Amino acid sequence: MTVAPQAPAGVELTDPNSVIVTVDGIAVRVPKGALVIRVAEMMGIEIPRFCDHPLLDPVAACRMCLVEIEGQPKPQPACAIPVTDGMVIRTQRTSEVAQVAQEGVMEFLLLNHPLDCPICDKGGECPLQNQAMSAGSGVSRFDLKKRTFPKPISISAQVLLDRERCVSCARCTRFADEIAGDPMIELLERGAKQQVGVGPDEPFDSYYSGNTIQICPVGALTSADYRFRARPFDLVSTPTTCEHCASGCSLRTDVRRGVITRRLAWDDPQVNEEWNCDKGRFAFRYTTEGRVDSPLVRDGGELRPASWPEALDRAARGLAEARGRVGVLTGGRLTREDAYAYAKFARVVLGTDDIDFRTRVASDEEADFLAAHVAGKPMGPTYADLDAAPVVLLVGLEPEDESPIVLLRLRKAARKSGTSVVSISPVRTRGIDKMNAQWWACRAGDEASVLRRIGQGEDTHLLEQLRSDGAVILVGERMAAVPGALSQVAALAADAGARLGWVPRRAGERGAADTGALAGLLPGGRPITNAQARAEVAQVWGVDPNSLPEGPGMTTQGMVNEVLADHGRAESDQARRFGALLVAGLQLADDPRADDLRKALDEIPFLVALSTHHNEVTAAADVVFPVAVVAEKAGSFTDWEGRTKAFSAAIHGAQTSTDGRVLAMVADTMGVSFGTGDVSALRSELDTLGSWPGARPEFAPRDAAEAADLTLATWRLLLDDAALQEGEPHLAATARPTEALMSATTAQEHGLGQARSVVISTDRGSVELPLRLAEVAAGTVWVPMHSEGSDVLSLGAAHGSRVRVSGGAV
């Protein structure tokens, strides 16, 4: 927007895409087609509104934003009128017509409103309340009976609806329909009886339902969880970045007396726009429950609370003893700074390159893929690239479950920009329909060969699209489980010239790869085997390059194998390949090798755990240090795009330290110079290091393996048994059902034509789940990976594994 110094008469347009309009006497040049309400906003002129929302299609229903436009006989809704050249607009500031119209509408809106602000959650942050003050009268002239409804009804376990307060702006129903693609709430009835509601037997169990609470301009939609818990003016708000997945949402955390009371989506036009998912919004109770609140040391077989000096001393001694023979497992949920601290601590303090952030399904192929294509790479493809892409090919990625904002952006791209989405997936999911995507049915485990065939031109249209400018391929976590899949993805992207994005599930994975929490990789994607890379890092770390471990070290799999092999082969602790493990916050059960991991933790002579919560790892540890949860510390996350978003602590004065600070203290105790471990210090080191522009190790393609006759397809649902969702009953009640999916044909072939439930077995055991026939690729049975009763990881199975099925008892 440019403010033109004078009235538009005779002004020559320099940009054919701009027009000159006058608002309240001020002439401005603005983009052609911009809505009047947006133009006024840009000028700092606030036109009151309810139904208008910049991310929803205009409806002009509430009529609050009426303004006077010269030449129009009637006041016009600013939210729905695109500006045209020479348009003269007068808002309520300069037009009596507009002002009177707005006052009239406000009076109408309050007619049937209960005015129960004193007991309303929205009070204090309510657009209706605020605008009633600015455009309303202090006294009502309505002396008749108000329309009443029974007070709140549940439209889902976590969203309550108070129909008396509703002003029928339809923001919520439009959000559900347009943005989320979950039209499970609708306007019902008509006229003055019109109300929001759900249909028979179908609650508003959308993964995005919480957004409707946030965009409701009155107190009609409230959170079951937050209801009556706080007043907005009692809350201390801190912007943050969501810790739940790699979508990278900006959020706002609201804290009351040191406790989180709610979280809201915050505005980041580049990333989450103004939305988030219900997990990001509602899952924060974990921050208070089951916490490790003091250092612990093992004493005669039992863990007991210990002083920091005692714990530090124990840890320092144990680690020093095993120096060079310590494995480091960081998990995928650390902030970028903390992951970096482990990466540095491993190389400098422990003298090892045996470090991995992956305690989930993983492979060496994936590690090589990350080194070649992900770690330390510049940002991109980005969300904006999805919008602009002619085609987005999804490989082994269910964005609605695994990166929900990616789903929203792909849906938007498909609806607004004509992006075509193709999903190579074993199941035709609701998400696929939401993106209006083409479903490429693919038996779990067959992805590599499907990709090869696409590269060979099996679908010429798709290949052509992938070759066009801006094409994007996104690959998900589970492709680590399919031999050859990541090799084929990389090859296809390279051949077609498409941009390639890796979308991990956990918020810290990209940051961990970038900062060197993976064997073979120093920070910034530097190969540990490259002399220059070593020199650069050594300089920043102030150490001799030769003191850095040679590398490449071992990944989780290698470490576990060696620890188990040490059993029986090592004659003394000193003779063991691994004398100690340093483990950060992670869940053993997330890994199909969980049994081996458990054995390894039992076997290892010395185990140090840094953990927010008590869990299986802390129970096995010799020394445990409490560390801060995300809300208690500053840090940053790098989302799937490679975009790093920093945040500060939302809860101030928490008696917890970051992992980096604890590691620095351990290093100090060991007498090794490490620095302070402060977030700012770590961050500035990372900035100094930057990205590695040099050559990367060749990514040696792996062969595809033949998929078995019947394979397991699996991924984690957004809402499941995860540790970070503990203590959230309302959220859990909206999770999707735990059920197995098969095609009718495959079920028939396995004698399950009439079965109501199915038993899925491997050599390790079995799980039984209700069976639903659905659109599933032949030869595959899909189950949620980690929902209650469906812990297929405990079977040692991963996506693409061979499984057996039989009819269940139910």
Six token digits for residue 716: 């984690």
Q: Shortest approach of another protein to residue 74 CB, angstroms?
A: 4
| Binding of residue 48 to another protein (CB under 8 A) | no
Q: Residue ranges of the alpha helices (H) in 551-632?
A: 556-569, 594-603, 616-620
The interface mask with another protein, positions 126-155, x = CB under 8 A, is ---------------xx-xx-x--------
| Binding of residue 188 to another protein (CB under 8 A) | yes
**Positions 167 through 186 that interact with another protein (CB under 8 A):** 167-168, 182-186
Q: Shortest approach of another protein to residue 439 CB, angstroms?
A: 15
**Positions 197 through 216 that interact with another protein (CB under 8 A):** 197-202
Query: Which region among 187-195, 362-370, 692-700, 796-804 touches another protein (by CB under 8 A)?
Result: 187-195
Among positions 31, 86, 104, 380, the unique one binding another protein when judged by CB under 8 A: 104
| Binding of residue 474 to another protein (CB under 8 A) | no
Q: Shortest approach of another protein to residue 301 CB, angstroms?
A: 57
Residue type, 381: P
Question: Which of residues 168 and 403 has its CB atom nearest to another protein in the complex?
Answer: 168
**Positions 244 through 283 that interact with another protein (CB under 8 A):** none
Q: Shortest approach of another protein to residue 414 CB, angstroms?
A: 16
Query: Residues binding another protein: what is the number (CB under 8 A)?
Result: 46
Q: Shortest approach of another protein to residue 176 CB, angstroms?
A: 9
Cβ–Cβ under 8 Å, residues 601 and 329: no
Q: Shortest approach of another protein to residue 145 CB, angstroms?
A: 7
* Residue labelled with tokens 């991963």: 798
In 3D, which of 39, 32, 46 has the Cα closest to residue 92? 46
| Binding of residue 74 to another protein (CB under 8 A) | yes
Cβ–Cβ under 8 Å, residues 48 and 38: no
By DSSP bridging, strand 159-161 and strand 221-223 are antiparallel
Q: Shortest approach of another protein to residue 744 CB, angstroms?
A: 16
Q: Shortest approach of another protein to residue 172 CB, angstroms?
A: 12
Query: Which region among 190-198, 243-251, 381-389, 453-461 touches another protein (by CB under 8 A)?
Result: 190-198
677: left (phi over 0), alpha (psi -120 to 50) or beta: left
Cβ–Cβ under 8 Å, residues 24 and 89: yes
Query: Which region among 87-95, 100-108, 212-220, 791-799 touches another protein (by CB under 8 A)?
Result: 100-108
**Distance separating alpha carbons of residues 77 and 72, to the nearest angstrom:** 11
Question: Which of residues 31 and 104 has its CB atom nearest to another protein in the complex?
Answer: 104
DSSP structure string for 144-205? SPPP---S-EESSSSEEE-GGG-----HHHHIIIIII----EEEES-GGG-EEEEBTTB---
CA separation, residue 572 to residues 41, 327, 604 (Å): 73, 18, 12
Among positions 30, 40, 101, 627, the unique one binding another protein when judged by CB under 8 A: 101
CA separation, residue 29 to residues 13, 46, 451, 544, 548 (Å): 9, 18, 49, 60, 59
The size of the chain, in residues, is 810
Q: Shortest approach of another protein to residue 408 CB, angstroms?
A: 18
In 3D, which of 260, 241, 258 has the Cα closest to residue 249? 241
Question: Which of residues 170 and 798 has its CB atom nearest to another protein in the complex?
Answer: 170
* Residue labelled with tokens 């009596």: 96
Query: Which region among 32-40, 194-202, 552-560, 735-743 touches another protein (by CB under 8 A)?
Result: 194-202
Q: Shortest approach of another protein to residue 106 CB, angstroms?
A: 9
With b for 16 or more beta-carbon neighbours within 10 A and e for fewer, the 446-477 pattern comes to bbbbbbbebbeeeeeebbebbeeebbbbbbbb
Six token digits for residue 272: 């989450």
**Distance separating alpha carbons of residues 228 and 189, to the nearest angstrom:** 29
CA 191 from centroid of its chain's CA atoms: 40
**Distance separating alpha carbons of residues 806 and 810, to the nearest angstrom:** 12
| Binding of residue 765 to another protein (CB under 8 A) | no
**Distance separating alpha carbons of residues 208 and 138, to the nearest angstrom:** 37
Question: Which of residues 170 and 512 has its CB atom nearest to another protein in the complex?
Answer: 170
Query: Which region among 58-66, 88-96, 128-136, 710-718 touches another protein (by CB under 8 A)?
Result: 58-66
Which residues does residue 635 pair with via DSSP β-bridges, in sequence order? 647
Question: Which of residues 141 and 257 has its CB atom nearest to another protein in the complex?
Answer: 141
Query: Which region among 195-203, 439-447, 553-561, 567-575 touches another protein (by CB under 8 A)?
Result: 195-203
Going by C-beta distance under 8 Å and a sequence separation of 6 or more, which residues neighbour residue 595? 764, 796
Among positions 45, 64, 395, 712, the unique one binding another protein when judged by CB under 8 A: 64
Q: Shortest approach of another protein to residue 184 CB, angstroms?
A: 5
The interface mask with another protein, positions 108-127, x = CB under 8 A, is xx-xx---------------
Six token digits for residue 101: 């119209």
- Cα angle vertex 483, ends 481, 486, to 5°? 85
Q: Shortest approach of another protein to residue 407 CB, angstroms?
A: 18
Six token digits for residue 636: 């940053």
Question: Which of residues 16 and 191 has its CB atom nearest to another protein in the complex?
Answer: 191
Question: What's the maximum distance between 2 C-alpha atoms anywhere in the chain?
Answer: 95
Question: Which of residues 104 and 351 has its CB atom nearest to another protein in the complex?
Answer: 104
| Binding of residue 190 to another protein (CB under 8 A) | yes
Residue type, 638: T
Enumerate binding residues for another protein (CB under 8 A): 58-64, 66, 73-75, 80, 101, 104-105, 107-109, 111-112, 141-142, 144-145, 147, 167-168, 182-194, 197-202
